[in-house]
Structure 1
């Protein structure tokens, strides 16, 4: 049974402007340590690819927060929700801390997809209840 659906579209230029204003502090606020490492590697080799990576993670976390119906308030935080990829490339949501405990206690399961183009990143999340 579907528990919730969330979608988000993010203007990559807005993320870029925030990154220019706040620098690494903004990235550390949004990304987990594992995501930060990927962002750093991509940004070093291909700055625009790193920027789009950051935008897709921002968008996916926003979509997830909408799908679970709590927005960005506890136990949902930027860093308690991680978007990673399986070896196949499929994006998956990995939760940490209180958010993970709450999510599992509810018997929930999440599916995520992300996409990006030059100016936009978009995400779609479906949360199911077992």
Structure 2
């Protein structure tokens, strides 16, 4: 079976795919608010890109926006099976949105290098919040090898 996928970096990919990894993370939104209150820009600049920070401040749900991005970064680290090791920095994993508002990953640095080395060619991100919690799921795919 030949399928096509929109690759994580925007290119159309043909082939047979397999799941490389799945990551999920749940974040307490109020706790994220306390972290932001305590550490402020020091925390934000260490974990988030300028683009992510600007996005979060544009909306009405500041704590939730930061919590969801943090959860997605954690979910990605779980999907690759490394946690935040191998030199991958928080800012190497940027959460962006397409024109329709769908979340996506913009990987740079060691996160992107790791994906290339492992043959990871596409990914999916889902974010949701309800009440006090935010959740993110990341699914990574690679071309199947037989």
What is the aligned counterpart of 1:71 among 68, 72, 83?
83
Unaligned ranges ≥5, structure 1:
none
Larger radius of gyration: 2
Unaligned ranges ≥5, structure 2:
1-17
Corresponding pairs, count: 125
The question of whether the paired residues in 2 share the 8 Å contact of 1:114 and 1:122 is answered with: yes
The answer to whether the aligner puts 1:23 opposite 2:35 as a matched pair is no
The answer to whether the aligner puts 1:32 opposite 2:45 as a matched pair is no
Root-mean-square deviation (CA), in Å?
1.2
| TM-score normalized by the length of structure 2 | 0.81
1:75 CA drift (Å): 3.2
2:66 corresponds in structure 1 to 54
The question of whether the paired residues in 2 share the 8 Å contact of 1:31 and 1:78 is answered with: yes
| TM-score normalized by the length of structure 1 | 0.90
The answer to whether the aligner puts 1:125 opposite 2:142 as a matched pair is no
